[in-house]
Chain A
């Protein structure tokens, strides 16, 4: 009945040990349980937090990646008005895996030859039996063809959509825009120069806005192309440039190629005459010599007189004029009639060192500063640069530059003497104009206006005048160097013009390579006859687009030069 008294019944030592063990065990269990609970609680808290985070900031599982905004596989290239010059489209490509073909290979080859006749059935059959794993049959296939190929039902035929570069304007501005190779990377022009920008996923969503205006480009290409065809020239180049910003509004090199099929172009077509080709551009250089001389104080103004004999013997050579004065003549007349003899004297007085320094300052001794990779290196006499070479450079022989460089020189001269490097990208809020550097004084720039307007009003460039648009400029006919000798019959003719001359805004440079005489030119191949009309027609077309209003009553200040021109002698545009 009575419970054993603890005091009386001494617990057995095993039992005591057992109690102690159990307690210990319990404590351990508690500890472990607590630990496990903490771990679970931690995990749950972690998951809960993660869920909350995802709910707040995360994407959910059904979200489609990359569809929130449209990013092309390669950035677009636009003209300055937003018209696409290059864009990327999804094109169909047809390919074949010969190893996966299960049907009758002969029948398949015959069917393919029917649909795509560029290869014969034998060639298709050989392809199918070649054991190779993959062939492209057609890239950029038309939808009807894709449908027909799909209808064959052969699992070995692969029809895929792949991004393809399209140039909607085809040949327009091909030499500026360039093309992409089969790997999708740029092979020339902007495509090559801005390859990183156009292919980088971060930047390609934003199109590259070029400074080209496709309407101006079209007008220039059309007029130049007509002239090239008409005069059977082997090539032509043209540049239209903004005087104040250095933006290139149009630049072309003919003959050109279709960038949609660049492989079909010949090396001649791929050669960019406007930037990569360098040419002796002849008398178009004379305004620079005169500006240098005026800025250096060698020439006081358009009224200074020079002795202009029939021929000028100098340093063991003889300088000729096409239409010699044979009398005293003023600087204005020298410009107007493009006299080599007068210019040679000015250059001689300027001297080699000063001439070199000026040319360096104008950027004529280095590659043209432009983003494109196709840039030609100017050719100069180099070590042979002596006093006679100084004279010849004075009238544009003995130095070869790219037509773009010539445009750049005119832009510098008529932007108040400030040099801005030419650019192919639009200057705007995204890309403000960098400050230029002064080359000529503002006064020289101003005085050149009336001198060049005189050339077009009364001198060799009369056919370049576009009524109402006040074109001023200079013709240039340079004999072409063939096998080390200057040819008497083969020329490169050029015209560098600026309009409107009372407030210069645009420069246009046009060049024809080896134009032939026609009936309308009375057998002449000089610039006044073949390129000057191109300028007239082009300016008449592009000036209204560029916001230059025609005005018959405005002219630069011609009273600065007209008093120094003798009207008596006959003037004709037969010379350069």
Chain B
């Protein structure tokens, strides 16, 4: 009974509630929209400010002004034609080590697979006198030089080593090539062949060491004769590649 009599009241109340709800939604939308517009306005004002600042910077740094500074204060001029490089390869070529030191190249015999090690070898010999960090490299070199009298021995060891050592040595010297100037420089030059050969040479090492340290220079001279047979083709290949590649690219 009472519910039916209040029915209309409920109706009115629910209608009012719904209307209020709708209004609140629209109010909410309106306020969101207003804040959005506020942001838009701020963006436009920021754009205007940026434009002003850019204009000011552009005006202060105008090209005629820069030209005056370049010509007057800094004495800068446009690069000449020969200052341009054709690419990264040409740039790399400029810092590549020179080939002129090749007269010592035969020494590479011991480190046969390493392509360009004349520089490191020289350093290695000087370094050795100071402090041979790893005994193995010294041992190898000495053995080679020492055995020059009996030619067959170095030749055979080099050949037997090469198939296994060549693959390893090929990548090692490349990575180690950079620190060539440091005291560890002997490693790249010699280490290429050493790690494996070292074991072979361990037995001879002790006997070999002392005379080798004392007489590094004569050793290299002796080696020249011995090397010619096994090494030349390998060295020639490497040098040939290095020379061919620049024009090819």
Q: Would A550 and B59 count as touching, CB distance under 8 A?
A: no
Q: Would B26 and A55 count as touching, CB distance under 8 A?
A: yes
A-B contact pairs, 28 of them (CB 8 A): A55-B26, A60-B30, A62-B37, A64-B37, A67-B40, A68-B44, A70-B47, A70-B48, A84-B54, A84-B55, A84-B58, A166-B59, A168-B55, A168-B58, A169-B62, A217-B63, A218-B63, A218-B64, A221-B64, A222-B64, A222-B67, A467-B80, A467-B81, A468-B82, A469-B81, A540-B81, A541-B78, A552-B82
B92 → chain A, closest Cβ, in Å? 18
B52 within 8 A of A: yes
Question: Do A64 and B64 contact each other (CB < 8 Å), given the known contacts A469-B81, A552-B82?
Answer: no
A50 → chain B, closest Cβ, in Å? 15
A380 within 8 A of B: no
A69 to B47, CA, bound (A): 9
Query: Besides A84-B54, A218-B67, 16 other CB < 8 A contacts?
Result: A60-B33, A70-B44, A70-B48, A84-B55, A87-B55, A89-B55, A168-B55, A169-B62, A169-B63, A171-B64, A172-B62, A218-B64, A221-B64, A541-B78, A544-B79, A550-B82
Q: Would B40 and A214 count as touching, CB distance under 8 A?
A: no
A549 to B82, CA, bound (A): 10
Query: Which A positions have Cβ atoms within 8 angstroms of B?
Result: 55, 60, 62-64, 67-70, 83-84, 87, 89-90, 166, 168-172, 214-215, 217-218, 221-222, 466-469, 540-541, 544, 549-550, 552
A128 to B34, CA, bound (A): 47
A550 to B40, CA, bound (A): 50
A549 to B81, CA, bound (A): 8
Q: Would B67 and A67 count as touching, CB distance under 8 A?
A: no
B41 within 8 A of A: yes
A249 → chain B, closest Cβ, in Å? 14
Question: Do A64 and B41 contact each other (CB < 8 Å), given the known contacts A87-B55, A89-B52?
Answer: yes
Question: Do A172 and B64 contact each other (CB < 8 Å), given the known contacts A89-B52, A544-B79?
Answer: yes
- Return chain A residues, CB-CB under 8 Å to B37: 62-64
B74 within 8 A of A: no
- Return chain A residues, CB-CB under 8 Å to B229: none
Q: Would A549 and B55 count as touching, CB distance under 8 A?
A: no
What's the dominant secondary structure at chain A's contact region?
Answer: loop
Closest residue on chain A to residue B60 by CB atoms: A168
- Return chain B residues, CB-CB under 8 Å to A217: 63
Q: Which of B63-86 contact A (CB under 8 A)?
A: 63-64, 67, 78-82, 84, 86
Query: Which B positions have Cβ atoms within 8 angstroms of A?
Result: 26, 30, 33-34, 37, 40-41, 44, 47-48, 51-52, 54-55, 58-59, 62-64, 67, 78-82, 84, 86
A222 to B71, CA, bound (A): 10
A64 to B43, CA, bound (A): 13
Closest residue on chain B to residue A542 by CB atoms: B78
A67 to B84, CA, bound (A): 50
A552 to B85, CA, bound (A): 12
Closest residue on chain B to residue A64 by CB atoms: B41
B152 → chain A, closest Cβ, in Å? 51
- Return chain B residues, CB-CB under 8 Å to A70: 44, 47-48, 51
Closest residue on chain B to residue A467 by CB atoms: B81
A469 to B84, CA, bound (A): 12
Q: Would B64 and A544 count as touching, CB distance under 8 A?
A: no
B191 → chain A, closest Cβ, in Å? 42
Closest residue on chain B to residue A550 by CB atoms: B81
- Return chain A residues, CB-CB under 8 Å to B58: 83-84, 168-169
Q: Would A468 and B81 count as touching, CB distance under 8 A?
A: yes
Q: Would A68 and B63 count as touching, CB distance under 8 A?
A: no
Closest residue on chain B to residue A62 by CB atoms: B34
A221 to B63, CA, bound (A): 11
Q: List 7 A-B pairs, minimum CB-CB distance, nearest first.
A: A468-B81, A550-B81, A218-B63, A168-B59, A541-B78, A168-B58, A70-B47
Q: Would A466 and B81 count as touching, CB distance under 8 A?
A: yes
- Return chain A residues, CB-CB under 8 Å to B33: 60
- Return chain A residues, CB-CB under 8 Å to B81: 466-469, 540, 550, 552
Closest residue on chain B to residue A171 by CB atoms: B64
B51 → chain A, closest Cβ, in Å? 8
Closest residue on chain B to residue A537 by CB atoms: B78
A25 → chain B, closest Cβ, in Å? 32
B115 → chain A, closest Cβ, in Å? 29
- Return chain A residues, CB-CB under 8 Å to B80: 467, 540
Closest residue on chain A to residue B47 by CB atoms: A70
- Return chain A residues, CB-CB under 8 Å to B47: 70
A303 to B148, CA, bound (A): 70
Q: Would B63 and A172 count as touching, CB distance under 8 A?
A: yes
A172 → chain B, closest Cβ, in Å? 6
- Return chain B residues, CB-CB under 8 Å to A172: 62-64
B162 → chain A, closest Cβ, in Å? 41
- Return chain A residues, CB-CB under 8 Å to B41: 64, 67
- Return chain A residues, CB-CB under 8 Å to B40: 67-68
A471 → chain B, closest Cβ, in Å? 11
A192 to B48, CA, bound (A): 26
A24 → chain B, closest Cβ, in Å? 35
A83 to B63, CA, bound (A): 11
Closest residue on chain A to residue B42 by CB atoms: A67
- Return chain B residues, CB-CB under 8 Å to A87: 51, 55
A546 → chain B, closest Cβ, in Å? 12
B34 → chain A, closest Cβ, in Å? 6
Q: Would B86 and A170 count as touching, CB distance under 8 A?
A: no
B70 → chain A, closest Cβ, in Å? 10
- Return chain B residues, CB-CB under 8 Å to A550: 81-82, 84
- Return chain B residues, CB-CB under 8 Å to A64: 37, 41
- Return chain A residues, CB-CB under 8 Å to B84: 468, 544, 549-550
